[in-house]
Amino acid sequence: MKFLEKFDPQLIIESPGRINLIGEHTDYNLGYVLPTAIEKKIIFRLQKNGSETECNIYSTDFDTGFKIDLRTIARSSVEWENYILGVLNEISKRTDGVIGFDCTLESNLPQGSGLSSSAALECGLAFGLNELFDLGLTKMDIVQLSQTAEHTYVGTQCGIMDQFASVMSQTGHVILLDCKSLEHSQIPIAFEPYQMVMLNTKVSHNLATSEYNVRKQECEEGVAIIKNKYPEVDSLRDATRDMLEAVKHEMSDVVFDRCSFIISENERVLLMAEALKKNDLNRVGALLYEAHEGISKLYEVSCPESDFLVDFSKDFPAVLGARQTGGGFGGCTLNIVHKDAVDDFIQQASTAYKSRFNIALEAFTVRPSAGTMVR
């Protein structure tokens, strides 16, 4: 793109991906989650370009870019452009402080792998524009407008976790977030002598967006049935197992299983928070395996590749627990592995995975890292 010839960035923003220790699909059910940012991130470089309305965006990873006229922001037929356009659209509803700018982005964060490159993209841009133009947005504004951008421009009816984790995380901590009240606390985690190892299945089954929205609808269907009998229930977060059992005969088996998973998963987040505070690592691991069982059998958002890796880890004494993380249908599994066995585990998992699926596994360790920042 032409602007790259005289690109002299005034601002560099680091916008991280995230993992979620536990609490899958609970965010849009207004329950609890336990995410943290990781050290893999998207780097944004920004400059004002002196124009009133012309903006240029270039993705180094895609080696492509596009021009935007701020007077005519609209959805694009190119998927990744919608994350950018959606954020600009949301910002324009709050302030008219954005004028012409140029931006490049460069990433070492795998896409579509459950590490939320989408939230990193939205929040990083919003954070960067807020700094560049002194827009006066709070971190919470950035989180919320980024979530709305994903709803309106991309079409994924995501909860608030990904954006919240990308922006609000602190080094060495996971966030216990109540997605209803947005109350949150930072819980220090020291897994020593264990490490968090991500195994990337390298598959991203195309169902992710459509099935995500279907799961959301199934949960809403469940809530409506429970609410008939228990008017105080506004989301699955408010429902108990007894309430669900009391209306079981009124719902399909599928809706029952979805609700059952969410109710248990919410409980598991709180149990996990307790286990972390006591540094009870065996309990941490057991909760991960339990969660994966629910993800696979009740919520049905796993896939053969993720199930294979989680099962494989069970034969490995140095692994305390594992589960698929993220929206589902592939992406990464999170494994808690003794540090002395990490290399061996990765090597054996890679060999087994290659011979079963003929796919080269990608593996890396992650540490709880800081949220979006100016470099």
**Which residues does the annotation mark as catalytic?**
162
Cα gap 15→26, rounded to integer Å: 24
Q: Which stretch binds ligand ADP (CB under 6 A): 56-64, 133-141, 163-171, 306-314?
A: 56-64
Structure tokens belonging to residue 100: 């012409």
Nearest CB to ligand ADP, comparing residues 107 and 266: 107
Which residue, 79 or 245, is less far from ligand ADP as judged by CB?
A: 79
Asked if residue 179 lies in contact with residue 168, where contact means CB atoms within 8 angstroms, the answer is: no
83 interacts with, out of ligand ADP, Mg ion, none, CB within 5 to 8 A per kind: ligand ADP
The single residue among 79, 134, 234, 344 that binds ligand ADP, judged by CB under 6 A, is: 79
Q: For residues 331 and 315, is the Cβ–Cβ distance under 8 A? A: no
87 binds ligand ADP (CB under 6 A): no
CA–CA distance, 165 with 169 (Å, rounded to integer): 5
Of 61 and 267, which has the nearer Cβ to ligand ADP? 61
Cα three-residue angle 79-112-31, rounded to 5 degrees: 105
How many amino acids of this chain bind ligand ADP (CB under 6 A)? 19
Are 333 and 309 within 8 A, CB to CB?
Answer: yes
Q: Which of 89, 116, 195, 260 contacts ligand ADP by CB under 6 A? A: 116
3 state DSSP class of 214: helix
- Least Å distance, CB 315 to ligand ADP, is 28
- Binding residues for Mg ion, rule: CB under 5 A, are 116, 118
At 188 the three-state DSSP class reads: strand
Nearer to ligand ADP, 44 or 261 (CB): 44
Among 23, 124, 326, 371, binds ligand ADP (CB under 6 A): 326
Distance CA 148, CA 151 (A): 5
Helix (H) or strand (E) holding 374: strand 373-374
- The residue from 115, 259, 262, 276 that contacts ligand ADP (CB under 6 A) is 115
Among the listed ranges 68-76, 106-114, 231-239, 272-280, the one in contact with ligand ADP (CB under 6 A) is: 106-114
Stretch 117-146 residues interacting with ligand ADP (CB under 6 A): 117-118, 121
Minimum CB–partner distance for residue 341 and ligand ADP (Å): 28
CA distance 166 to 175: 11
Q: If contact means CB under 5 to 8 A according to the sort of partner, which of ligand ADP, Mg ion, none does residue 128 touch?
A: none
Q: Which two tokens stand for residue 240?
A: 């108990």
Which residue's CB is nearer to Mg ion, number 56 or number 117? 117
Per-residue contact string for residues 220-259; x = within reach of ligand ADP by CB under 6 A: ----------------------------------------
What is the H or E stretch that residue 274 is in?
helix 253-277
CB 276 within 8 A of CB 336: no
The residue behind tokens 């005969």 is 249
Which of residues 20 and 117 has its CB atom nearest to ligand ADP in the complex? 117
Taking CB under 6 A as the binding criterion, the range among 22-30, 112-120, 182-190, 261-269 that sits at the site for ligand ADP is 112-120
Task: State which amino acid sits at residue 329.
Answer: F
Helix axes 208-229, 253-277, angle to 10 degrees: 100
Choose which of 3, 44, 83, 133 interacts with ligand ADP (CB under 6 A): 83
Question: What's the rounded Cα separation, in Å, for the pair 116 and 90?
Answer: 20
| 42 is a site residue for ligand ADP (CB under 6 A) | yes
CA nearest to 80, candidates 153, 137, 10: 153
Indicate whether 30 belongs to the interface with ligand ADP (CB under 6 A): no
Give the three-class secondary structure for 269. Answer: helix
Closer to Mg ion by Cβ: residue 36 or 118:
118
- Pick what 111 binds: ligand ADP, Mg ion, none; C-beta below 5 to 8 Å, kind-dependent: ligand ADP
The only residue of 104, 107, 148, 324 in contact with ligand ADP, by rule CB under 6 A: 107
DSSP 189-221: ---TTEEEEEEEEEEE-TTHHHHHHHHHHHHHH
How buried is residue 211: exposed, middle or buried, by Cβ count under 10 Å (0-12/13-18/19+)?
Answer: middle
Q: Which residues bind to ligand ADP, rule: CB under 6 A?
A: 42, 59, 61-62, 79-80, 83, 105, 107, 111-118, 121, 326
